[in-house]
Amino acid sequence: MLQQDKVADWLLQKYPQAHAVRTDRALFDYVQALKSDYLRGADPVNKVLFDSKLHVVKNALGTHTSVSRVQGNKLRAKREIRIATLFKTVPDEFLRMITVHELAHLKEKAHDKAFYQLCKHMEPGYHQLEFEVRVYLTHLETSGARLWDAAGEPFSF
């Protein structure tokens, strides 16, 4: 498909529109809704934001961090999730995949069987979506052309 330049058509046919989550506040609400549906007992997430410094292909699509601070005689942990800015203009399914992935790290730190089972519990089509995100990233790397614009509409070629 890559050699025949059919990836863009295939993705646009399957996912005609991007999601409407554009701000860090909207992303925080999006993540909190997923967390409350599937991970009520997990530690709270204090901060969620789009991060333009994450290098999508070579480094990471998203990160989860936990910062511990001493407050009086207690140790407080603050958890934050950062999602690559690229995910501002992708279909909802792609954003959900990366969000589910980062939320799963609240319960399972390593990428092991339990981690992927939790991802599948939150998003039954997780593995297919992860594959399709990788296909899209490969498309970006080879052609450099984004498929959806900031308004959520597909680019016209």
pLDDT, residue 152, reads 59
Task: Confirm if 99 and 28 have CB atoms less than 8 A apart.
Answer: no
**Residue 141 binned pLDDT confidence (cut-offs 50, 70, 90):** confident
7-11, 75-79, 99-103, 134-138: which range is least confident on average?
75-79
Query: How many residues can be counted in the chain?
Result: 157
Mapped to the 3 state alphabet, what secondary structure does 105-144 carry? HHHCCCCCHHHHHHHHHHCCCHHHHHHHHHHHHHHHHHHC
> pLDDT above 70 covers what percent of the chain?
88
23-27, 57-61, 64-68, 146-150: which range is least confident on average?
57-61
Q: What domains does the chain contain, in order, with CATH numbers?
A: 7-143 (3.30.2010.10)
pTM for the model = 0.86
